[in-house]
């Protein structure tokens, strides 16, 4: 059974998708609810933890590794949510590449573009987001740049 907040989020996502119009410039519409109950909508949105904002803004982090979070090539809004501060920051970018490989096949180049100190550190960091990930899990390595 859906909660009232679930229904609010679904309605907001539907409204955002309905406004996309014809063409393929925008391919994904989404909605998310923050810890204070505010609903945020966006088109082609990548959600990040607040800790990644400065590395993305400075161009040190130019990929994100995602599990079961399909993305599309094209314009993207990057939302960095800070639950403790009950706020968020936004950057605008472009998804340029999406490469699939298994978690166990992540490369030194992925480590560099994630701005991680080592492959072990990248694996450990991703396991904080995806605790049940296995080495054979298929992940998307999403390459982006700011615009």
pLDDT for 13-61, tens place per residue? 888 777 665 555 555 677 888 888 888 887 777 889 899 999 999 999 9
- Domain at 45-146, CATH from 1.10.486.10, 3.90.480.10, 3.90.650.10, 3.10.400.10: 3.10.400.10
* CA distances to 8, 25, 75, 104 from 14, in Å: 10, 18, 19, 36
pLDDT for 97-116, tens place per residue? 999 999 999 999 999 999 99
- Round to whole Å and give the CA distance between 9 and 77: 18
Domain locations along the chain: 1-43, 45-146
pLDDT of 70 over the 90 cut: no
- Give the residue-averaged pLDDT of 131-144: 97
Q: Return the higher-pLDDT residue of 17 and 132.
A: 132
Edge-first strand listing for the sheet containing 87-102? 45-49, 74-82, 87-102, 138-146, 63-66
Model pTM score: 0.73
Contact between 80 and 89 (Cβ < 8 Å): yes
Residue 102: CB atoms within 10 Å:
13
Q: Return the higher-pLDDT residue of 103 and 85.
A: 103
């Amino acid at each position: 059974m859906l909660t009232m907040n679930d229904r609010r989020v679904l309605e907001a996502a539907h409204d955002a998708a309905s406004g996309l119009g014809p063409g393929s410039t925008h391919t994904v519409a989404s909605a998310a609810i923050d810890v204070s109950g505010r609903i945020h909508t966006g088109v082609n949105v990548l959600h990040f933890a607040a800790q990644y904002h400065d590395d993305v803004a400075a161009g040190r982090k130019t990929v994100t590794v995602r599990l079961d979070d399909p993305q599309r090539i094209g314009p993207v809004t990057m939302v960095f949510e800070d639950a403790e501060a009950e706020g968020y920051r936004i950057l605008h970018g472009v998804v340029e590449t999406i490469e699939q490989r298994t978690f166990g096949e992540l490369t030194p180049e992925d480590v560099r573009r994630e701005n991680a100190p080592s492959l072990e550190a990248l694996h450990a960091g991703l396991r904080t987001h995806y605790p049940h990930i296995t080495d054979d899990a298929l992940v998307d390595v999403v390459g982006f740049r700011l615009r």
